[in-house]
């Protein structure tokens, strides 16, 4: 396959179709299909490999930027008094060269492969696709908020914000043994720490990004946690109503 059409083909109506080639998407993770290039693999292995190359290259981030207060660890980080940059930036900065030229609402083709080998394919905005990296940053790399990884179990990268918030709440409620009182207390602490970390990430992105896709990915993650402050019961009722099966035609109903 021509490298300029890697994993894609153009249909008769001018729309782009994703072609899944064997071996293109071997690992769990998100793949963003960019114009004129092979899919960019946002998998744990590729993130770690790319991050190492990135930090080993002294020309990627200036020493002045690295010394900026925004790049240092958060005040509540257990490693605050140690040298080194914030761990949460590891999965984001290595992809700046490839992705920072895109704006938040630029359309991209995105493919998510789950841990069971299933695929979810979506044409979405760059900021929504990068929300995958923002969540990965917060719940797998941040020294403080990585304890919340169970809260995000079962959440797919392309879910709408309301759907993500609903799933978060149900996960937290389960982890609270069904106690709404305990769940509300957990949500309060969860929101506080995710909000602080997300805001600090936005400040870091602002120092090195030319466009807003990365920054808005973290803003959107924070907004999702804010939704948990709303009437979550009403939110769930609305979600259930949207998926209620349509009424059967009268001729099919049992008499």
Is residue 8's pLDDT more than 50?
A: no
Q: Which residue has the tokens 């760059």?
A: 126
How far apart, in whole angstroms, are the C-alpha atoms of residue 244 and residue 139? 32
In this predicted model, which residue has the larger pLDDT, 61 or 89? 89
Beta bridge partners of 107: 125
CA distances to 5, 7, 36, 110 from 14, in Å: 14, 16, 17, 18
CB 30 within 8 A of CB 155: no
Q: Which of 66-70, 180-184, 201-205, 245-249 is most confident?
A: 180-184
pLDDT value of position 177: 94
Query: What is this structure's pTM?
Result: 0.74
In this predicted model, which residue has the larger pLDDT, 170 or 231? 170
Structure confidence at residue 182 as a pLDDT band (50, 70, 90):
very high
pLDDT value of position 9: 46
Which of 139, 146, 30, 41 has the alpha carbon at shortest distance from 94? 41
Listed range (4-8, 41-45, 182-186, 249-253) with the worst mean pLDDT: 4-8
pLDDT digits (tens, 9 = 90+) for 78-88: 988 887 678 88
Q: Is 103 helix (H, G, I), strand (E, B) or coil?
A: coil
How far apart, in whole angstroms, are the C-alpha atoms of residue 98 and residue 91? 13
Domain ranges of the chain: 3-241
What angle is formed at CA 150 by the lines to CA 146 and CA 152, rounded to 5 degrees?
Answer: 90
pLDDT value of position 73: 83
Which of 2, 4, 5 has the alpha carbon at shortest distance from 17? 5
Number of H-type helices and E-type strands within the chain = 8, 6
Query: For helices 213-227 and 180-208, what crossing angle results, to 10°?
Result: 170
What angle is formed at CA 38 by the lines to CA 11 and CA 54, rounded to 5 degrees?
Answer: 150
CB 128 within 8 A of CB 119: no
pLDDT digits (tens, 9 = 90+) for 211-243: 777 777 777 777 777 776 666 677 777 777 777
């Amino acid at each position: 396959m021509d490298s300029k059409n890697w994993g894609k083909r153009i249909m008769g109506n001018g729309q782009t179709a994703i072609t899944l080639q064997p071996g293109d998407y071997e690992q769990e993770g998100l793949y963003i299909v960019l114009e004129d290039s092979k899919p960019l693999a946002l998998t744990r292995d590729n993130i770690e490999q790319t991050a190492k190359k990135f930090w080993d290259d002294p020309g990627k981030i200036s020493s002045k930027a690295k010394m900026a207060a925004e790049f240092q660890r958060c005040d509540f980080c257990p490693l605050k008094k140690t040298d080194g940059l914030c761990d949460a930036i590891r999965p984001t900065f290595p992809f700046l060269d490839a992705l920072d030229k895109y704006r938040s609402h630029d359309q991209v083709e995105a493919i998510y492969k789950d841990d069971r080998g299933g695929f979810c394919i979506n044409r979405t905005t760059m900021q929504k696709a990068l929300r995958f990296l923002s969540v990965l940053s917060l719940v797998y790399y941040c020294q403080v908020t990585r304890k919340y990884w169970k809260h995000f179990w079962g959440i797919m990268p392309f879910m709408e914000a309301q759907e993500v918030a609903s799933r978060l709440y149900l996960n937290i409620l389960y982890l609270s043994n069904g106690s709404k009182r305990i769940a509300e207390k957990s949500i309060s602490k969860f929101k506080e720490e995710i909000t602080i970390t997300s805001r600090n990430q936005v400040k870091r992105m602002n120092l090195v990004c030319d466009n807003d896709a990365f920054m808005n990915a973290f803003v959107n993650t924070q907004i999702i946690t804010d939704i948990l402050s709303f009437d979550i019961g009403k939110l769930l009722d609305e979600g259930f109503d949207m998926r209620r099966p349509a009424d059967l035609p009268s001729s099919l109903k049992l008499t």
